[in-house]
Structure 1
Amino acid sequence: MKEAVLLTYMGAPSNLKEIKPFLYRLFSDRDLINFGVPAFLQKPLAYLIATFRTPKVQPQYQAIGGGSPLVRNSLQQAELLAKATGLKVKCGMLYSEPLLEVVAKEIKEEGYKKIYHITLYPQFSYGTVGACIRDVEKQLKGVEVKHCRSWCRNPLYVKWAQEMIRPYLKGLNPNETALLFSAHSLPKYFVEEKRDPYPEEVKESAQLIASAFTGFRWFISYQSKVGPIEWLEPSTEETLRELKEMGFSSVVVFPISFVSEHIETLYELDVEYKEVAKELGIDYRRVRLKHDSPLLIEALKGEVEKLRGE
């Protein structure tokens, strides 16, 4: 039986022209962001928000080179995983090119009958992994698909995170340094209404990763809130202020829900929150994400092997 691996992600605009279409697709997804309006108003409202937000976020993308590197990095991860597994690895995005619906059509046309699906989100959430699984099931009807729902406990993923963090903590006083795990936020109603396990998986990931750094106190915060709804807290900005009040003079920030650099790391963490830390007089160090690390690719390979063995 012809088989392949499918990596999915929400995607990101790779250039300035892709910003508005990306935002429109994102805010049109009622399962991800429910504005509390009748269903027929979701897309018109999404169009208005995308139109309004595009000129606001364009300068952010310009500041990081004119577009997000996320798609490029994800495609590279797919290439590396293909070499590691010996399988064809496809990569599809929900809201940007290469769109999942196009990639799914290629999979069918090329005759693949069994697909091992892994999202590039280590922690499960109905809004991210759940959305990817939903769309894969929709687009790949008639194809046998095995899904990886979560891989945040994968020992190689944990080791990958630890190896990246370690150099940033070197030489710092544990009594004066906080290790901050900044996770992408999630609308509160996902937890309240759907009992989304995301916050617990973020916490478990943080515990596993922090176990290598005894003596350092660690904290969890949330970033990247969008739209007029309530999101998980505390925010990363609020947490930085609290850490200052607690007497910490240094903060090492690890973007725990990400496996590749993109706008939330390169601008939100590296520009906006770095400026907040500077104003507070905090020594601020943001851990760079090595998306092409052999450890990360081996972690993904392990998840593929699990799915193949089921």
Structure 2
Amino acid sequence: MKKANLIVYMGGPSNLQEIKPFLYRLFSDRDLINFGVPKFLQKPLAYMIATIRSKKVAPNYKAIGGGSPTVKYSLEIAEAVEQKTGVKTFVGMLYSEPLLEKVAEEMKNYGAEEIAAISLYPHYSFATAGACIRDVKKYFKNAKMVKSWCKNPHYIKWIRKQLKKSIKNTKNPYILFSAHSLPAYLIESGDPYVKEVKETVSLVMDGLNVPFSISYQSKVGPIKWLEPTTEETIKKLGKENIRELIVFPVSFISEHIETLFELDVEYKEVAEKAGIDRYIRVPLNHKDEDLITAISQECQKLLRG
């Protein structure tokens, strides 16, 4: 029986021309963001928001090289997983090329009969990993899907390793785990995302005697999102005389616009204005052996099962 791994992610615009189509697909997904309007208005509203926001964020993408590295890094992760597992590994994106529907055809042509699918979201949310699972099931009825891998020991080790590198030359560090935000109504309806983020952070900080907290970044649109926000938390920490701030993007495993621009540029300026002397954003090494091992283990468990 021919086996295959499938890595699924939301994707990102690899160049400036892809920004608007990516945002339109993203905001059209009512399972991801429900704007509270009738269903037939979701796509027109998504088009309007994508049109306005694409112009707003284009300079940010220009500042990080003209596009998001998300797809490139996802393909690199897949290549490393394939080498480690010896199983052909594909990559499909929900909202940008390579679109999952096209990759599904490639996999069928390859003859994949047993499929282990995993999203690059370690923490489960209806809107992220849940959307990936939903779309995988559209094309592969019998695919086995990893729901959550936020407590995988190698994933935890990967975070701890990077944190330790960033705090080793500090005197009185404070760690801020900045997770991608979600609409608040999702959590109120039973979404486990916040709980899982806290579980990851608890495992990472076990035995590390450093003060820390969790905040949420990347709010979009007019609805209520998770709190406290990363921006307000940084301002608050500045008032509390925190002078060495270590920021780890806990819900991310590779660099995105949210890390390379939002955290590295916008929030660094917020920290400087708040009186924080050292602002250290922990880099995300997506090729690290522990991260690749975590993803590979999760896929192998499904194929063995």
Could you state the TM-score of these two structures normalised by the residue count of structure 2? 0.98
2:272 corresponds to: 278
CA distance in 1, matches of 2:17, 2:155: 34
Structure 2 unmatched runs, 5+: none
Deviation at 1:212, TM superposition (A): 4.4
CA distance in 2, matches of 1:274, 1:121: 25
Equivalent position SS for 1:178:
strand
Could you tell me which of 187, 211, 216 is aligned with 1:217? 211
The within-5 A match list for 1:87-98 is 87-98=87-98
1:85 corresponds to: 85
Equivalent position SS for 1:258:
coil
1:155 corresponds to: 153
1:294 corresponds to: 289
Deviation at 1:280, TM superposition (A): 1.4
CA deviations on 1:168-196 (whole Å, 9 max, x unpaired) are 1113224xx21000000010110112x00
Equivalent position SS for 2:7:
strand
Q: Is the 8 A contact 2:114 2:303 kept in 1?
A: no
1:7 corresponds to: 7
Residue identity (%): 58
Equivalent position SS for 1:247:
coil
Could you tell me which of 283, 299, 303 is aligned with 1:304? 299
Equivalent position SS for 2:197:
helix
CA distance in 2, matches of 1:276, 1:253: 13
Q: Is the 8 A contact 2:239 2:274 kept in 1?
A: no
Could you state the TM-score of these two structures normalised by the residue count of structure 1? 0.96
CA distance in 1, matches of 2:122, 2:262: 20
The within-5 A match list for 1:260-275 is 260-275=254-269
CA deviations on 1:260-289 (whole Å, 9 max, x unpaired) are 001000000000000000111211000000
Equivalent position SS for 2:227:
coil
1:190 corresponds to: 186
Q: Is the 8 A contact 2:69 2:256 kept in 1?
A: yes
Deviation at 1:3, TM superposition (A): 1.1
Deviation at 1:105, TM superposition (A): 1.3
Structure 1 unmatched runs, 5+: none
* Paired letter, 2:130: G
Deviation at 1:248, TM superposition (A): 1.2
Q: Is the 8 A contact 1:68 1:262 kept in 2?
A: yes
2:38 corresponds to: 38
Deviation at 1:244, TM superposition (A): 1.6
CA distance in 2, matches of 1:306, 1:134: 20
Question: Within the alignment, does 1:252 sit opposite 2:246 as a pair?
Answer: yes
Q: What is the number of equivalent residue pairs in this alignment?
A: 304
The within-5 A match list for 1:218-233 is 218-233=212-227
Runs of 4+ in 1 over 4 A off after TM superposition: none
Equivalent position SS for 2:143:
strand
Q: Is the 8 A contact 1:7 1:120 kept in 2?
A: yes
Q: Is the 8 A contact 2:91 2:103 kept in 1?
A: yes
Q: CA RMSD in A?
A: 0.9
